[in-house]
Amino acid sequence: MKNFQFKNPTKILFGKGQIENLSKEIPENAKILLLYGGGSIKKNGIYDQVKKALSAYEVVEFGGIPANPEYSILLKALQVIKEDGINFLLAVGGGSVIDGTKFLSAAALYKGDSPWDLLTANKPTTEGMPFGTVLTLPATGSEMNSGAVITRKETKEKLAMGGPGLFPFFSILDPEVVKSIPQRQLANGITDAYTHVLEQYMTYPTGALLQDRFAESILQTLVEVAPAILKDPSDYAAASNFMWSCTMALNGLIQQGVPGDWAVHMMGHELTALYGIDHARTLAIVAPSHYRYNFDSKKEKLAQYAERIWNVVDGTVEEKAKAGIEKTEEFFHSLGIKTKLSEYTDDYSETGSIVSKRFTDRGWTGLGEHKTLSPSDAEKIVEMSY
């Protein structure tokens, strides 16, 4: 087990009716900017519940934060924060709204020239305007971590930021929201959380036995509840396990003391930036090819995964490892998620070299858990996923 330092101060309020407790978590003198996305919260009743719970506060609203939160739109919200003297942010939405709110939390206190520096400077953010979240879409885990990914259409970029100053003060997770989520987003959420675990698990054995078992626990639970969620999202028992699994998949716990890969995300982000493919689906496109390309360095963990998650007990390490990749593809297919780039766009023939060039331009030469994956490796992996 590697050395680690871990702190996660976010308070979780989980379960039915927790939105009613919102005002207990926000300081009395708060002037709140309520941030949300395309307006689904107005249809599913969450908006009304939140407004009712905030009736004692001064609240300004900023809606319209899109999936893959867009820099130019967030700059408009930043202007509202400054002009209206906002001192508390409340994200009501999924990972995009929460990530956008994290960017705003940092940007509101940023002293430098351009807030875009927060995305490019590669420095942890230690201070942000306080914020909370009401999660409406289990998937990204953003509700209990300090990271964010922001998109800039103008330059077709999708970059990450974060740091210890960007944990939500609190997050409200009411599994009843799951029943109003469209099938496509449910499948995306399951795939996203599943791949988050894989990025922290599918590396090489380091003797971190407990972390391995925790990671496997999340994978097993997602596999177990996925059919129920897709069949009947109003199944509260399944929805609550789905929601808590998504949070635990990326709140920092399972990454402690183990190597992380994250190359699947780096390649996937490019596919979203280039073609607008849903984030989760880009992960399902890239992951199987990534594991095949890096088979030798990942085969021990792939075999352990095949055994413990998919009950593949016969065969050599290589045979089990191979079966593990196939089972992963089958699982994504069972969710209605396609795993080939050509199933999403006809314009794929140059994608490998485009991704390679973008990585090179950014100076990214050592991705993956061994920090050895080059842009030309990424090119080949993306090509394998056509």
Interface positions, 234-253, toward its own copies (CB under 8 A): 237, 240-241, 244-245, 248, 253
**d(Cα 313, Cα 123) in Å, to the nearest integer?**
45
Q: CB nearer to its own copies: give 217 or 342.
A: 217
CA 336 to mean position of chain CA atoms: 19
Q: CB nearer to its own copies: give 247 or 385.
A: 247
Sole residue written with tokens 């390649």: 267
Answer for the pair 301, 207: CB distance below 8 angstroms, yes or no: no
Q: Which of 27, 207, 336, 366 binds its own copies (CB under 8 A)?
A: 207
**d(Cα 223, Cα 211) in Å, to the nearest integer?**
18
Kindly state whether residue 165 participates in binding its own copies, applying the rule CB under 8 A: no
Answer for the pair 130, 108: CB distance below 8 angstroms, yes or no: no
* Shortest distance (Å) from residue 293 CB to its own copies: 29
- How many residues in the chain? 386
**d(Cα 74, Cα 65) in Å, to the nearest integer?**
8
Give the SS3 label for residue 274.
helix
Answer for the pair 324, 305: CB distance below 8 angstroms, yes or no: yes
User: By rule CB under 8 A, what count of residues binds its own copies?
Assistant: 42
Residue type, 184: R
Kindly state whether residue 109 participates in binding its own copies, applying the rule CB under 8 A: no
Kindly state whether residue 297 participates in binding its own copies, applying the rule CB under 8 A: no
* Shortest distance (Å) from residue 385 CB to its own copies: 30
Kindly state whether residue 127 participates in binding its own copies, applying the rule CB under 8 A: no
Kindly state whether residue 225 participates in binding its own copies, applying the rule CB under 8 A: yes
Kindly state whether residue 217 participates in binding its own copies, applying the rule CB under 8 A: yes
CA angle, residues 214, 220, 225, in degrees to nearest 5: 130
Kindly state whether residue 17 participates in binding its own copies, applying the rule CB under 8 A: yes
Sole residue written with tokens 């396609």: 338
* Shortest distance (Å) from residue 144 CB to its own copies: 10
Kindly state whether residue 1 participates in binding its own copies, applying the rule CB under 8 A: yes
Kindly state whether residue 10 participates in binding its own copies, applying the rule CB under 8 A: yes
Sequence-separated (6 or more) residues with CB below 8 Å from residue 368: 261, 262, 263, 294
What DSSP character marks residue 153? G
Within 10 angstroms of residue 220's Cβ, the number of other Cβ atoms is 15
Kindly state whether residue 210 participates in binding its own copies, applying the rule CB under 8 A: yes
Q: Which of 15, 38, 130, 315 binds its own copies (CB under 8 A)?
A: 15
Answer for the pair 116, 75: CB distance below 8 angstroms, yes or no: no
Q: Which of 44, 87, 180, 256 binds its own copies (CB under 8 A)?
A: 256
Relative to beta strand 157-162, strand 147-152 is: antiparallel
**Is 3 buried (19+), middle (13-18) or exposed (0-12) by CB count in 10 A?**
exposed
Q: Which of 44, 180, 220, 376 binds its own copies (CB under 8 A)?
A: 220
Which range, of 48-56, 57-65, 126-134, 205-213, touches its own copies by CB under 8 A?
205-213
* Shortest distance (Å) from residue 7 CB to its own copies: 4
Kindly state whether residue 231 participates in binding its own copies, applying the rule CB under 8 A: no
Q: CB nearer to its own copies: give 6 or 326.
A: 6
Answer for the pair 238, 228: CB distance below 8 angstroms, yes or no: yes
* Shortest distance (Å) from residue 330 CB to its own copies: 21
**d(Cα 296, Cα 293) in Å, to the nearest integer?**
8
Kindly state whether residue 7 participates in binding its own copies, applying the rule CB under 8 A: yes
What DSSP character marks residue 137? S
* Shortest distance (Å) from residue 82 CB to its own copies: 30
Kindly state whether residue 200 participates in binding its own copies, applying the rule CB under 8 A: no
Which range, of 133-141, 202-210, 262-270, 361-369, touches its own copies by CB under 8 A?
202-210
Kindly state whether residue 216 participates in binding its own copies, applying the rule CB under 8 A: yes
Q: Which of 43, 213, 357, 371 binds its own copies (CB under 8 A)?
A: 213
Q: Which of 159, 218, 250, 264 binds its own copies (CB under 8 A)?
A: 218
Answer for the pair 253, 1: CB distance below 8 angstroms, yes or no: no
**d(Cα 220, Cα 211) in Å, to the nearest integer?**
14
Q: CB nearer to its own copies: give 66 or 164.
A: 164
Instruction: List residues near its own copies by CB under 8 A.
Output: 1-18, 175, 207-211, 213-214, 216-218, 220-221, 224-225, 237, 240-241, 244-245, 248, 253, 256-257
